[in-house]
Amino acid sequence: MDIHPPRTEPAPPTDADRAAIGEQLGRMPRGLRAVAHRCPCGLPDVVETAPRLEDGTPFPTLYYLTCPRAASAIGTLEAEGVMKEMTTRLAEDPELAAAYRAAHEDYIKRRDAIEVLENFPSAGGMPDRVKCLHVLVGHALAAGPGVNPLGDEAIAMLPEWWRKGPCVEQCGGASEGEQGEQGERA
């Protein structure tokens, strides 16, 4: 893909959003706060989750990718070794490492604006390694281009997952794709 999907403003989930997210994941995510990004097809593709679950358990994964097509394509990148290559580049490229650290700080700042989780990492391996591209892509989509350099790179490697239309109408939800780590399951 040559362009980053358009940034969308976060919004409280509607009943239709909740239904679509449930179909995408095969369940409802825990701690759902907002639709953080909408796919060009119109459905949610990234949700924002609470930093702490209803039972008080810390949940540091703020942005959770829900689109099964995007998740499947990202899983393919992970299987091809993209995370290892990116982690190697972080160790070799101080400019990239600084930009990735800034992405980590942005992620923490956004999470702390909701609730501070003292001594909890951001997610996806930030700031020192790449552990989960799903998280980095979710952050890049929610924050917009230029905030997470490795999330932006991963997005640039993806096919236009929305081309075939809404994922829950075309592929039947999460059964077509893997969700990857994304920290803990939302």
Query: Taking the domains of the chain in order of start, what are their residue ranges?
Result: 15-176
For 136-176, write each residue's pLDDT tens digit: 999 999 999 999 999 999 999 999 988 888 888 644 443 33
**What's the rounded Cα separation, in Å, for the pair 123 and 135?**
7
Residue range 70-118, pLDDT digits in tens: 999 999 999 999 999 999 999 999 999 999 999 999 999 999 999 999 8
Dihedral of the CA atoms 73, 91, 135, 80 (nearest 10)?
20
Side chain identity at 182, as an amino acid letter?
Answer: Q
pTM over 0.95: no
